[in-house]
Structure 1
Amino acid sequence: MKLSAFADVCLRVMMFTGAENRESGAQALTTTQELADAIQVPYNHVAKAVLQLRKLGVLEVTRGRSGGTRISPDGMDTSVGAILRQLDTREDVVDCETTNHTCPLASRCRLRRALRDAREAFYATLDPLTVADLVDESRTFVPMPTIPEQK
């Protein structure tokens, strides 16, 4: 599964602000421009990510000359899988339409459901991983057991 570019930017913002929280203390503020420069993403993309993450309650934003962004107290313990679920606005993994706007296989297709289940399994694998796990080297992440390949 491939993350959207927007989800990637959001995760980078979360990781950077989480790392800043660990290094500088909870009071450190980072401007959107500083975030954009640090994660090497255009300012407009970072500004949209900051707005969305603020709406999700994982970032705190202070406006004004001495304002900036910092991770919220709950943001560090937020599940990566939960964040990605909220950022994923696609209804389906594939676009099941033809030029006639209907899929001739729609009445008997099981692919869409299988792909939705696969996407959920992807997110479920990331559920135990928190933002704090991503930025704190002393924390150990124990991944879910992998499913053996079928031949």
Structure 2
Amino acid sequence: MRITGFSDVCLRVLMRLGVAGDAGATSREVAYAIRVPYTHVTKAVARLRELGLVHTTRGRGGGLQFTDEAADATVGWLMRRLEPDPDPVACDNPAAPCPLRQACNLRTALRRAREEFLRSLDGVRIADLFDAPTSGLLVQIAAAGVMGGGETSNG
């Protein structure tokens, strides 16, 4: 299964914030650290805030923080909320509707496979994503971002 680019950005934002701890980070710092345009990060942060996984503080001295709820949430739970289309195939394409749609074994098999994929991610907590060795690399990248000014060419 393939996840959307938006889900990928959301996961990377959470991983970066997870290693930041109570210090948190700004959206620009996160964008620099995970090599994603600032505008993509702000969209991801807005959705993660809605889900209760990121706390945001505006203004001078503000930033983003990983919430306690985020640490306990699973990747499967998050993917079910981020991935918009539960259908792995485009059976409802108006330009070329599939004549097998009403009784398609392929569609059923792919739905089952998708659910198995997500069920396997139910055993992975978001906090597990930034365990060693990933945590060390994220800390290095964050330190380089602070020394480099935290700006990206994309934002």
Tell me if both proteins adopt one fold, taking TM over 0.5 as the criterion.
yes
1:66 counterpart residue number: 61
| Equivalent residue, structure 1, for 2:4 | 4
Distance 1:9 1:98, change over 3 A: closer
Consecutive unaligned residues in structure 2, runs of 5 or more:
134-155
CA distance in 2, matches of 1:128, 1:94: 26
Residue 14 of structure 1 aligns with an amino acid whose one-letter code is L
- Normalising by the residue count of structure 1, what TM-score does the alignment of the two structures yield? 0.82
Partner of residue 149, structure 1: none
SS at match of 2:25: coil
1:34-45 alignment runs, 5 A limit: 34-45=29-40
Would you say how many aligned residue pairs link Structure 1 and Structure 2?
133
Give the CA deviation at 1:66.
1.1
- For normalisation by structure 2, the TM-score amounts to 0.80
Deviations 1:62-86 (A, max 9, x none): 1111110010111111101111111
Distance, in Å, in 1 between the alignment partners of 2:94 and 2:84 is 23
1:31 aligns with 2:26: yes
CA–CA distance in structure 1, aligned partners of residues 95 and 20 of structure 2: 51
For residues 92 and 111 of structure 2, the distance between their equivalents in structure 1, rounded to whole angstroms, comes to: 16
Aligned to 1:137: 132
**CA distance, structure 1, for counterparts of residue 68 and residue 81 of structure 2:** 19
Offset, 1:53: 0.4
**Greater fraction helix:** 2
1:64-120 Cα deviation digits (max 9, x unpaired): 111100101111111011111110101311101456553211232122222111111
C-alpha distance in 1, partners of 2:102/2:56? 48
Q: Does 1:47 align with 2:33?
A: no
Segments of structure 1 that go 5 or more residues without pairing to the other structure are: 139-151
Q: Deviation per CA, 1:26-73, whole angstroms, max 9, x where unpaired?
A: 2x1211011100000001110000000000001101111111001011
Runs of 4+ in 1 over 3 A off after TM superposition: 97-101
Identical pairs, percent: 46
Per chain length, whose mean CA-contact separation is higher, i.e. which structure has more relative contact order (CA < 8 Å, sep 6+)?
2
Q: Which residue of 2 aligns with 1:95?
A: 90
